[in-house]
Amino acid sequence: MIVELIALISLPVGGFVLFLYRNYYNHVYKRFQVILKSHKLSNTPEVQDPVVLQLQSGQIPSWLNGIMYRIGPGRFNIQQNDGSTFSIRHAFDGLPFMHRFEVNGSTQTLKYNSRMLAKSLETEIKNKSFKGLIFFGHIPEMTFPQWLYNFYVRFNNLILSPKPRHDGRPDGQSVGVTVTPNFPLPARIKKADGENVLVSKTDANVLQKIHAETLEPQNIFNYTSYDARIKGQLSAAHHQYDPNTKEIFNFALTTGPVPRLVVFSTTEAGKVTILADFTHRTDKSPIQAPYIHSLWLTENYVIIPESPMVLKDRGANMLMNGSFLSSISWVKDAPTYCHVIARHPVQQKEGLVASIPVNPGFFTFHVANAFETKDNSGETILTLDCASFSDGDIMHQLHSFGTPHRKGPAAEKAAQTTLNGISYPPQQQSGFGDLVRYKLNLDQSTTLSIDTLAKNVEFPRFNQDYALKKKNRFVYGCQLQGFTEKKDETGGLIKVDLTGQSGPLTFYEEGFNCSEPIFVPSPTGTKEDDGVLLSLVNNFDCCYFIVFDASNLKELARVKIGQFIAVTFHGSYVDHEFKSININ
């Protein structure tokens, strides 16, 4: 009788599991391999012992003395103990590197060192003992037993018995999207007297403390470590910071059947205030589980974009396939809801004040500045700048990020369909979204205007002395020119005048790929753009540190880092006393 009962139960369960695997292999693995199969990324070498590099050309401003940190993927091909190679084919998924550039304008030198931040994870992969990994877009090929085991581990660790996969190892998890000096630490992590704090973050609810000089990983923790009420699997890699109150702002997002957003602030001392905790918009409709990479901040409000870029199955596909991208879906014709959360009680309002629908819907990886004003009737107007995408196509074009395409004939375009509302197969990326300004009437919960400030702009940065202020005039960013038969693909820089008083300025050098520019103000400057931009620039197989004049984008100094590519996402800069100057 017992045997018959087991057989009756196991038959449908086994059939369902086989169905899941068939869905994984046929509908996910095969499709994504079309994107990834021809794409090979190269490893970045570690430089653990600092090296002093000399100028190749130009001159570093004598006043520029500080440290630029940059972070991004660097280890893509891992030799396993059986002689095989585990190759990661999506640029977002390489094991993370931290890079440290100590610039000295007095001696005209640059001291450089770097370190891979997930060595324990690399060891797991070498030993073929990694369990339940969730990548952004990479999906390794697996046999049915391997897939079943990894699915079980993910489901158990995230749903049945939630626990961190790093297992207490400070380098046991991949945390490599943003880098923040002087980030407040939870009480359980003790800071030594005079210690400079450096923290890396990602889009999951996980953070990593890094030694500010050697770059050695020291601790992995999460926002729940600050306050038990901050629960959720996801968070924004880009927190927000108020330079006046010294508070940071972020959220934790719980996926699953009932998505939940917990929005909070943290003081320099690590004291937490829960600003909002909600599952529904102000119109009583339930929120989705969107992909949120960054958020806005004004003097009185936190604004979180719920775009129509959502986890279509509440994240179930992510658990099943081990790929965040496999669950991402673009909901056509849906608005983006801007959730406005009060930082302080305003006219008896607190928590979630409004969920303002913006049509057409948009997605943003990276925001620029934001501020609030009053109109003639005294109503509050929110002005929100960001690099905006009008659809979800960019999500399937990101696998080749940071590796420019050489000149040559374009591949024959295949007939396109859609996969989860996103064009498929993806076209070769030839540009970014646009720098867009959204003006919202908070009191009426309406959109006043949507204005394109500049075309083809990503990674917006600005002089952070102007954060939260209306008088911010200039935004710097990256601009992409696709390859042609006669020209290599090029990632340049752009300077945008938000007032329209002058046209945009650009820097391009064919085949060069400029990283997100970091603005450093001149200590004797009198204008908003008196200062320099720092960028890590790749040219196919060579890496440079370049200093630009922020007023005209003219190159001031160039230092060769090495004969390799260092793909990075974001960076921050501190002065020689480790004071935060421009922080991501």
Q: Which two tokens stand for residue 374?
A: 């009053």
Phi, psi of 359 (to 5 degrees): -120, 135
Interacting residues of 40 by C-beta distance below 8 A, sequence separation 6+ = 76, 87, 89
Cβ distance 524 to 63 under 8 Å?
A: yes
Q: For the chain, how far is it from start to end, CA to CA, in angstroms?
A: 63
Instruction: Give the bridge partners for 560, in sequence order.
Output: 544
Question: What span, in angstroms and rounded, lies between the C-alpha atoms of 179 and 572?
Answer: 7
What does the alpha-carbon distance between residue 88 and residue 78 come to, in Å, rounded to a whole number?
A: 8
Is the CB of residue 537 less than 8 Å from the CB of residue 546? yes
Q: Cis link prior to 425 (omega < 30° from 0)?
A: yes
Q: Is 211 annotated as contributing to ligand binding?
A: no
Sign of CA dihedral 125, 128, 132, 136: positive
Alpha helices in 159-265 (DSSP H): none
Q: Is residue 27 annotated as involved in ligand binding? A: no
Q: Which among 518, 566, 529 is positioned nearest to 544, based on CA atoms?
A: 566
Q: CA-CA distance, 306 to 364, in Å (whole number)?
A: 10
Task: Match 């196991």 to its residue by tokens.
Answer: 10
CB-count burial class (<10 Å; 0-12, 13-18, 19+) for 103: buried
Q: At what angle do helices 144-155 and 2-22 cross, to 10 degrees?
A: 100
For residues 496 and 398, the answer to whether their CB atoms sit within 8 Å is no
Backbone angles phi, psi at 40, to 5 degrees: -125, 130
**How many Cα atoms within 13 Å fall on the side-chain side of residue 46?**
14
Instruction: Count other C-beta atoms under 10 Å from residue 417's C-beta.
Output: 8
Tokens of 108: 């005209």
Q: Backbone dihedral region of 232: left (phi > 0), alpha (psi from -120 to 50 degrees) or beta?
A: left
- Give the integer Cα–Cα distance in Å for 328 and 248: 28
344 is an annotated ligand-binding site residue: no
Cα→Cα distances 527→531, 533, 550, Å: 9, 15, 11
Q: Are 260 and 253 a contacting pair, CB within 8 Å?
A: yes
What is the DSSP secondary structure assignment for residue 465, as one 8-state letter? G
Read off the tokens for 249: 């702002």
Does the annotation list 570 as a binding residue?
Answer: yes
Residue list for the binding site for Fe cation: 238, 293, 366, 570
Residue list for the binding site: 238, 293, 366, 570
